[in-house]
């Protein structure tokens, strides 16, 4: 192994002082503080296995995370089809029992939230973009980063294995509430729930390895000149989300461990005295509500672990494709940080009718509605970025616009549910399902898609097909909107969630037609996702070559010496940053963009306001 480190072809380690040194032609305005540490070489893989399988390159790890998360996401999608088949056309879904239905509900939820969205945003985009956008050669701990992915791989394996154990996967709902999760009467209350807890524990362990990498890379490995307030909002979003994850996931980990102990060793952390089939079980004194507090102490920040990277990415996409700086950058940064901090003080808004002390309602309703203020500021700043921009209505921008519509819609319904009184009639109904799918299902999905169309040219060197992209967008956006917008009204009627069958309650029979409509839309939206897969496969081979910086963007990832960027990202010389990444359409500049690496001396006659 040690020979690998002495590879001749590797990048020559150079002291940074020599890079910046001389100072002959550079005027004072271009001065950037020298680096404190010399540039270090990386471990370079040689064989197929070290280059593509057990790979230490954050970009490859990012793609690995992306692919595996997408794979689990497709399983989640298929499960949602099965659920919608039962709800819309129960006569066709004769093969499905209530046990199956609840198992599908549970696995769909857990897969989509943790193994799809979290893994994709942080593991996928985080790994690919953080080093490139910060001007680093790689993550600071490449080996740990590699282990992180393979822990995720094992976690997914354990999760999927639970489909094949006796009793099947857990069917306790994605919230896994005890006592029900570990008692008979819930499907998969044997091996299913144990494997779920083990898988979550593995995920958290693996994720912590990746998360430490993201944090330390952002804090310690930025290139010269890349101050925190010059970082793209994508990095700010992922960075803050990772901080949240580091603080929130431990709560999930301990609750998974404690529940496993309750199940396997018969402890009573969450188990009070229970009477089951006439027998008093050997539990006593535990609190089911304690689990809910632990779960939501993780679960609410988890919403923002998904949302903050989405906020960051969408800000960058809107700015680049409107040819305009992101409006109110500092406000955007502080909003991300503020939302992140506040997200730890709102968790019990999931528990207004859980039986916790009802006086908590006052506190949590107040904190929840306070969080609406920075969130609204972000929305205003996105649309104000469009204002007087020069908007390219390409596929990427369409996803951005779709995001704004769905996110505002889901955010507003969040104000319904966060405002304790309004929550009482609506909680545990389809209104909740509609709300959280709109705000943390569809809206982040719009961002992911936008990001895929935006960064695919960087990863693959070729553009995705625009025409297919537009079909993909409109089918997904219009379809998803017609799934979830009407669903709110089922919640107003009072249709409870997690019902395998409604029977013929008089006020609910009117919903049959709507359920069929929603299911049909769900089948179409799901199928439309395969357009993207087709588009990717075809464009990899035959897409239009992207060339360098096809979108005329400013941030560093588009300014690597080779496209797609190679291992080590920057060739033999690290970039030096002179400005924020949003200098678009600066008055006086020849082009409508000024990359972050452009020193002030090259654009002397421009009226740059913020650097």
Partner 1 sequence: MHAGFIFLAVIVGSVLFHIFTPWYWTDIASNWGSMDDTITLTFWVGGGVFVAVCLFMVYCVFKFSYKEERKAEYKPEDKKLERVLTWATTLGVAALLAPGLIVWNQYVNVPKNAIHIDVMAWQWGWQYRLPGEDGKLGATKVVNINDDNPFGIILEDPNGKDDVLVQTDVIHLENNRPVKILLRSVDVLHNWYVPQFRAKMDAVPGVVTYYWFEPNKVGEYEVLCAEYCGVGHYAMRGRVFVKDGKDYENWLQEQETFSDLIAKQEKIELSETKLAKK
Please state the closest distance from residue 374 (CB atom) to partner 1, in A.
Answer: 9
Residues 65-104 that bind partner 1 (CB under 8 A): 98-99, 102
Nearer to partner 1, 59 or 349 (CB): 349
Residue 424 within binding range of partner 1, rule CB under 8 A: yes
**Total residues binding partner 1 (CB under 8 A):** 114
- Window of 113-121, 237-245, 362-370, 562-570 that interacts with partner 1 by CB under 8 A: 362-370
The position carrying tokens 């990772």 is 242
Using the rule CB under 8 A, is 466 a contact of partner 1? no
From the number of C-beta atoms within 10 Å of its C-beta (0-12, 13-18, 19+), residue 146 rates as buried
Q: Which sign, positive or negative, has the C-alpha torsion 371, 374, 376, 378?
A: negative
Cβ proximity to partner 1, 44 vs 293, nearer residue: 293
The 8-class DSSP code of residue 429 comes to: B
Among 486, 550, 561, 600, binds partner 1 (CB under 8 A): 486
Residues 139-168 that bind partner 1 (CB under 8 A): none
- Interaction of residue 600 with partner 1, rule CB under 8 A: no
Choose, by CB under 8 A, the member of 8, 22, 47, 330 that binds partner 1. 330
Please give, one letter per residue, the 3-state secondary structure of 104-169: HHHHHHHHHHHHHHHHHHHHHHHHHHHHHHHCCCCCCCHHHHHHHHHHHHHHHHHHHHCCCCCCCC
Residue 512: partners with Cβ closer than 8 Å, 6 or more residues away: none
Ranges within 507-546 binding partner 1 (CB under 8 A): 507, 510-511, 514
- Dihedral sign of CA atoms 494, 523, 526, 113 in order: positive
User: Going residue by residue from 260 to 279, which x/- string records binding to partner 1, judged by CB under 8 A?
Assistant: ------------xxxxx-x-
Residue 353 makes contact with partner 1 by CB under 8 A: yes
Min dist CB 29 to partner 1, Å, is: 19
For residue 597, state whether it binds partner 1 (rule: CB under 8 A). no
**How many whole angstroms separate alpha carbon 447 and alpha carbon 72?**
18
Task: Candidates 325, 343, 539, 598: give the one binding partner 1 (CB under 8 A).
Answer: 325
Residue 387 binds partner 1, judged by CB under 8 A: yes
In this complex, which beta carbon is closest to partner 1, that of residue 238 or of residue 417?
417
Q: In this complex, which beta carbon is closest to partner 1, that of residue 68 or of residue 408? A: 408
Q: Does 393 bind partner 1 (CB under 8 A)?
A: yes
DSSP classification of residue 279: E
One DSSP character per residue, 29-77 reads GG--PPPSS---------SHIIIIIS---HHHHHHHHHHHHHHHHHHHH
Least gap, CB of 129 to partner 1 (angstroms): 23
Which residue stretch of 141-149, 153-161, 231-239, 381-389 sits at the interface with partner 1 (rule: CB under 8 A)? 381-389
Among 180, 516, 520, 597, binds partner 1 (CB under 8 A): 180
Cα 456–Cα 460–Cα 463 angle in degrees, nearest 5: 55
In total, the chain counts a number of residues equal to: 611
Using CB under 8 A, which of 205, 257, 289, 524 touches partner 1?
289
CA quadruple 356, 362, 364, 367: dihedral, nearest 10: -170
Q: Is 26 in the site for partner 1 (CB under 8 A)?
A: no
């Amino acid at each position: 192994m040690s020979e690998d480190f002495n590879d001749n072809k590797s990048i020559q380690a150079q002291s940074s002082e020599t890079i910046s040194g001389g100072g002959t032609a550079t005027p004072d305005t271009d001065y950037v503080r020298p680096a404190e540490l010399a540039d270090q070489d990386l471990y370079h893989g040689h064989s197929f296995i070290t280059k593509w399988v057990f790979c230490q390159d954050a970009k490859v790890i990012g793609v690995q995370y992306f692919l595996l998360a997408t794979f689990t996401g497709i399983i989640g999608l298929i499960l949602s089809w099965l659920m919608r088949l039962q709800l819309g056309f129960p006569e066709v879904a004769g093969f499905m029992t209530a046990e199956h239905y609840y198992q599908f509900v549970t696995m769909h939820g857990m897969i989509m939230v943790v193994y799809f969205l979290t893994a994709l945003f942080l593991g996928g985009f985080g790994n690919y973009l953080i080093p490139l956008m910060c001007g680093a050669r790689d993550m600071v701990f490449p080996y740990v980063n590699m282990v992180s992915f393979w822990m995720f791989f094992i976690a997914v394996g354990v999760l999927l294995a639970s489909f094949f154990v006796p009793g099947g996967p857990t069917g306790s709902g994605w919230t896994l509430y005890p006592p029900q999760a570990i008692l008979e009467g819930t499907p998969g209350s044997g091996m299913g729930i144990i494997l779920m807890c083990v898988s979550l524990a593995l995920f958290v362990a693996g994720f912590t390895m990746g998360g430490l990498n993201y944090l330390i890379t952002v804090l310690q490995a930025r290139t010269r000149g890349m101050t925190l307030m010059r970082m793209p909002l994508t990095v700010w979003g992922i960075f803050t989300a990772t901080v949240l994850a580091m603080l929130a996931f431990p709560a999930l980990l301990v609750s998974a461990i404690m529940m496993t102990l309750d199940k396997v060793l018969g402890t009573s952390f969450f188990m009070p005295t229970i009477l089951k089939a006439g027998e008093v079980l050997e539990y006593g004194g535990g609190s089911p509500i304690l689990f809910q507090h632990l779960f939501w102490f993780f679960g609410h920040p988890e919403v923002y672990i998904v949302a903050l990277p989405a906020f960051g990415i969408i800000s960058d996409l809107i700015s680049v494709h409107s040819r305009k700086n992101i409006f109110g950058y500092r406000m955007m940064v502080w909003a991300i940080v503020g939302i992140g901090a506040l997200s730890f003080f709102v968790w019990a808004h999931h528990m207004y009718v859980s039986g916790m002390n009802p006086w908590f309602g006052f506190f949590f309703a107040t904190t929840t509605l306070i969080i609406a203020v920075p969130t609204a500021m972000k929305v205003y700043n996105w649309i104000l970025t469009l204002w007087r921009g020069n908007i390219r209505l390409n596929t990427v921008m369409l996803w951005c616009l779709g995001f704004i519509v769905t996110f505002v819609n889901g955010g507003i319904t969040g104000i319904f549910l966060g405002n304790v009184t309004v929550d009482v009639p609506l909680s545990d109904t389809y209104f909740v399902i509609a709300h959280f799918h709109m705000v943390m299902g569809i809206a982040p999905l719009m961002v992911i898609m936008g990001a895929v169309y935006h960064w695919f040219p960087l990863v693959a060197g070729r553009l995705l097909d625009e025409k297919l992209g537009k079909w993909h967008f409109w089918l997904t956006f219009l379809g998803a909107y017609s799934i979830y917008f009407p669903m709110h009204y089922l919640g107003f009627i009072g249709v409870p969630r997690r019902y395998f069958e409604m029977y013929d309650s008089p006020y609910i029979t009117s919903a049959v037609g709507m359920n069929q409509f929603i299911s049909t839309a769900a089948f179409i939206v799901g199928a439309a996702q395969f357009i993207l897969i087709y588009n990717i496969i075809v464009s990899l081979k035959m897409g239009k070559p992207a060339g360098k910086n096809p979108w005329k963007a400013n941030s560093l990832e588009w300014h690597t010496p080779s496209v797609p960027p190679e291992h080590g990202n920057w060739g033999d010389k690290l970039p030096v940053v002179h400005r924020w990444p949003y200098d678009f359409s600066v008055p006086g500049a020849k082009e409508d963009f000024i990359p972050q690496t452009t020193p002030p001396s090259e654009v002397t006659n421009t009226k740059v306001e913020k650097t």
